[in-house]
Amino acid sequence: MANYSKQREAILHELQNRCDHPTAAQVYEGVRRVIPNISLGTVYRNLAALVESGEILSVAVGDGKEHFDGDKSFHLHLHCKCCGAIIDSRVNDEKIKGIAEFDGFTPENSVCVVYGLCKNCNKQ
């Protein structure tokens, strides 16, 4: 990891140990439990650096907020337009990579969002 720091390591650890797709403010709240004096600005700067280095994903679902994902594997993000949940959905990695490679593209990661209603909102 370039520019290693205790703060960056804590932010990465926070993201890799979450199942949701938190905003910077939510990451900040989680990391403050470990590093109480960390600033929100430090969290924002480190999140940007982690996205740029490819260590985490930035997920935009159209809600006006940037969400983050510590899982870099190929997967879909299912966004419920009713409750706002963002749910990971596993897909066949080789099929996605094959589609990209068919066009001569070498995939590294992917952020794909499918919009609809989650099973809980469908029941209502």
pLDDT for residue 1 is more than 50: no
Residues in Cβ contact with 4 at an 8 Å cutoff, skipping those fewer than 6 apart:
none
Instruction: Average the pLDDT over 30-59 and give the result.
Output: 96
Name the average pLDDT for the chain. 90
CATH class of 6-69: mainly alpha
Is the per-residue pLDDT at 123 higher than 80?
yes
Identify the pLDDT of residue 2.
53
Q: pLDDT digit string (tens) for 57-105?
A: 999 999 999 999 999 888 889 999 999 999 998 877 777 778 778 878 8
Q: Does domain 75-123 fall into CATH 3.30.1490.190?
A: yes
- List the one residue out of 38, 19, 18 whose CA is nearest residue 28: 38
Start and end residues for every CATH 3.30.1490.190 domain found in the chain: 75-123
* Mean pLDDT (whole number) for 115-120: 94
Mean pLDDT of 107-122: 87
